[in-house]
Structure 1
């Protein structure tokens, strides 16, 4: 109990003894409020974990201790790989509940004396103040990845997420708390660029990596300077090898580092929200290129453009697509939008409505990477789609691995029963092509046919003239 007492001495009159007069105030509420304010200054409001300010203080203390004792410490920067998909499809309330569960799991997985802090929306930093060897940090990172990857049950939904982790060892990888955390952040981003659900050591990726803040600034400059261009990979019928479609694939023509493929910048665009701007650029350029091919006298095949979950759920996505089609004059019946199968794991009436509107405009919908998710059949039944694309991870070893053969055969069987177009990605050999054809696959895409090509080279190599087709 807290109380505040004010006392004053009152002199006596006519020789009387002086007396004390006081007031006793209950200040429990004030002390509780002061404690709440002090707690919030150093803790995250949602998860009650330490925030960045308290983390920096603890890392500073730990660095002083290890330098005095000639020991090591580890800082791990963790970023969830798919929280934005959860927020966009199930709402931020579910996302917040998921973050609390992640915070709880991380706290339980660590030793007494370790620190886990939340430093951003889906970002956590873990401090191991004393380790004997680098291998100790590696084992801890592996344990954390396994912990995060276990299913999360929220109401009636079972969610699956993964994380990317960057590890920096102090004091070797940073002389200050800020530099150590920054370098762990850079290593984390290399893990995310490599596909996520893994960890990277800063000592392995080196000081040449740049963190997300610098990458975001570069990406914004690239958008302003129009440094992005499209390559196109042909999609052909499996029997006659006639070109029936092309997939538009974005490249960053960096002024210093040359041509950068999507894995080098798409994760940054997703994390920063720039994917919506970049996605609109890609769609516009793809439609403009289709119109240019038409004007040059070519018979234009279907053009497939990839759409990320964050793009699909941006405000008025259908309106944005409509504006680009109207602006470029491209025929919507020649446009196909590819959605990853993982989007299907989040049940959403909004998704169904968006896809219905797009298909009503004549735009085809394809499910990319089909077979890699956990709800393939339910996705096809739940959503109105036109095409399924079999992921290249199943095609690579389809000739010799029984498991891949079973998966590919089952996917083709279901897709054909539903009268959907089927495309196999990553086809590189005639043996793969023969297996796919025997199971009813109708179209293929991959290095057996062609690598992704610049627009002009694809036109010269693969596109037929409209007059030649008419003559046939």
Structure 2
């Protein structure tokens, strides 16, 4: 396709050049206009001077006519006439150097104030520089008329009366009535041209000044426009290249460029937000598959990777080994030297273990102090034993952190595909069972095929039963009321999960919850509980009951899901009124994760109106100094402190300290596990805010809890 655009287009020029071109065109237009105006103005000046000359001559002609009439009437002599005429004409000078002359038709010059030497002389033979007779030319132009504007050339005299060169002159000449006299006065055209040039010079100076001012203004305007445009182009180029941190200039301007700058700034802000969201999304995806400390696969990703390897081993009909490795003493390092130190020790050991891995090996962090190695094409037993020895020797090699030496040792549980199972959960579960046997027997490693299979078969059955229970709604909720010690009334309830098995009856949460956390089923259970609580609150709202707040204990895995906020909105259909009756209880174990990530999740959840509390406070890794920056509402003192409140002064001091510090942070404190009146009395004296326990109420099924709400029950304020 041909490009029909002209070679020279305004789009090829910068704004500065366009403004200079505009100024140049304006100047050219002004010069043309000025030239035309000057030409017209010259004619106007000539006409004005002609009118002036005519008025002067006509005014003087009356006096001369009167003098001549007196002469005719013999009132004055000829000499007196001439003297008076000359005196009168000499006094009739006007402007600078303009005068009147008087001559008769025969050529006698009666009076000429400009050239006195001509007075009384005959000028009929006087010629100009072109050789023309002046009197003849005058009489010819005058003809039979009484007046005429006479155009001729005449010498110019200066202020001292000195004659110069001739120049074009125009004179008005009129006849004096009753005589043959001719009275006239004229002006040299060069005087008009000089006056015009003076005006044009003034105008030119003014124009030049205005031009310079306009040019300076154009340069300033061009700079004011082109500089921010160049800066905006640079900002747009930076955005295009992915550099989003630079400052956008010109956003404070109030013109179109300011609007454009703010648009670029908004685009940059949106790009930054998109980048942050993308990084958060990538980080969330990373956390879904990888351990944030070691950057190894986590438990969920391990299961998926193992499932893929099992499929591949089926095609090649080879053996696969699953090694669950426990790093003994790693937890003790955490307790004594802190989480950061133990994480550094763990990373040093992981880096050493990587040197023994093959390309197709999968290494994952299985738990707090547990790693899992999946080795495809594991080889025979002797090859595996050599690998086990290498791994244990590597773990036992001392590591140093900040000059502090640490020596760990490992224990390993081994399961093999296909002999020990053909499902990922079977192989991992049986390797864990072998590891537990190794811990009990204090052995370096144990092979699962050397164990009895009944415990593992029970775990497999439990895994299957939990999935059936979720599908058939065998789970149900009970509610343990929480009482306010100031009002002595139940203000909320903790939601507890129960399982009624069709054959085995009620199964304790202490049995299936830890197992669900180990196998990854806890996310499905949490989702079931969340939906059940939402349905219950919605039902109570429709019934018009006095709505309590329900406290729900969630696992850290579910709470830290990147889509958790969406799950809440889905379960409650986005009903913010219902969400205000929900409280999420997080165990202290959640707080060992990334605090920045936890803070972001808490802030997002609280924007929905949900309250947050920390459960089992005092038994985990956190402290009030750690959670002081978290936007939470309650902390729940672990029941182990409440149990000892009557017999242990230390427990009392700890509870008092927690209450004092929590109230200083404007947090309310819940005491759980209150089972005696003495415990309740002590907590009331200490200023505890909320309590729950068997003394006040056991966990109630839905109908019983609804009846409690209808009764408006109160604690006996005078107890003890």
What TM-score, normalized by structure 1, do the two folds share? 0.59
Report 1:393-412 matches (<5 A): 393-412=640-659
Q: How does 1:153-232 map to 2 (within 5 A)?
A: 178=420, 185-186=432-433, 207=454, 210=457, 212-232=459-479
CA distance in structure 1 between the aligned counterparts of 2:343 and 2:524, rounded to whole angstroms: 24
Q: Say if 2:639 is the partner of 1:392.
A: yes
Deviation at 1:190, TM superposition (A): 11
Q: Which residue of 2 aligns with 1:463?
A: 709
Indicate how the Cα distance of structure 1 residues 96 and 229 shifts in structure 2: closer, same or farther if over 3 A, else same. farther
What is the CA distance between 1:431 and its match in structure 2?
0.9
Q: Measure how far apart 1:214 and its partner are.
A: 3.8
Q: Which has the higher helix share?
A: 2
Query: Which is greater in Rg?
Result: 2
Conserved 8 A contact 2:569-2:575: no
Is the 8 Å Cα contact of residues 416 and 440 (structure 1) preserved in structure 2? Answer: no
- Higher mean C-alpha displacement, 220-229 vs 94-103: 94-103
Q: Which deviates the most, 443-452 or 329-338?
A: 329-338
2:673 partner SS: coil
Q: 2:512 aligned with 1:288, yes or no?
A: no
CA contact (8 A) 2:552 2:583 kept: yes
Q: Which has the higher contact order (CA 8 A, sep 6+)?
A: 1
1:241 positional shift? 3.0
The partner residue of 1:419 within 657, 666, 676 is 666
1:296–1:328: structure 2 CA closer, same or farther, 3 Å change rule?
same
Match of residue 333 from structure 1: 580
> Could you say which residue in structure 1 is the equivalent of 2:48?
none
Query: Measured at CA, do residues 373 and 96 of structure 1 come closer, stay the same or move farther in structure 2, by a change above 3 Å?
Result: closer
Deviation at 1:207, TM superposition (A): 3.6
Residue 428 in structure 1 maps to residue 675 in structure 2 = yes
Aligned to 2:504: 257
User: Structure 2 unaligned runs (5+)?
Assistant: 1-295, 298-308, 332-341, 354-360, 374-380, 382-391, 403-410, 422-426, 440-447, 713-720
Q: Does 1:246 align with 2:498?
A: no
Q: Distance in 2 between matches of 1:191 and 1:235?
A: 44
* 1:133 alignment partner in structure 2: none
Q: 1:268 aligned to 2:515?
A: yes
Q: CA deviation at 1:274?
A: 2.3
State the distance in 1 between where 2:344 and 2:351 align: 11
Contact 1:276 1:314 in 2 (8 A): no
Does the CA contact (< 8 Å) of 1:250 and 1:282 recur in 2?
Answer: yes
Return the offset for 1:332: 1.4
| CA RMSD, 1 decimal | 5.2
SS for the counterpart of 1:365 is strand
Task: Indicate the residue corresponding to 2:690 in structure 1.
Answer: 443
CA offsets 1:271-296 (integer angstroms, 9 cap, x no match): 33222221111011112112223333
In structure 2, the residue corresponding to 1:369 is in which secondary structure? strand
Deviation at 1:443, TM superposition (A): 0.8
Structure 1: 5+ residue stretches without partners: 1-45, 60-75, 84-93, 106-116, 130-143, 155-164, 169-175, 193-201, 467-472
Separation of aligned partners in 2, 1:421 and 1:286: 23
Q: Quick check: 1:324 aligned with 2:575?
A: no
Structure 1 pair 215–95 and aligned structure 2 pair: CA distance change class (3 A): farther
Q: Check conservation: 1:233, 1:246, Cα contact below 8 A.
A: yes
Query: Which residue is equivalent to 1:98?
Result: 346
Aligned length: 349
1:319 counterpart SS class:
helix
Q: What secondary structure is seen at the aligned counterpart in 2 of 1:224?
A: helix
Alignment of 1:37-76 (within 5 A): none
Q: How far is 1:388 from its partner?
A: 0.7
Name 1:234's counterpart in structure 2.
481
Residue 250 of structure 1 aligns to a residue whose secondary structure is strand
Report the counterpart of residue 150 of structure 2 in structure 1. Answer: none
| Equivalent-residue separation in structure 2 for 1:306 and 1:264 (angstroms) | 17
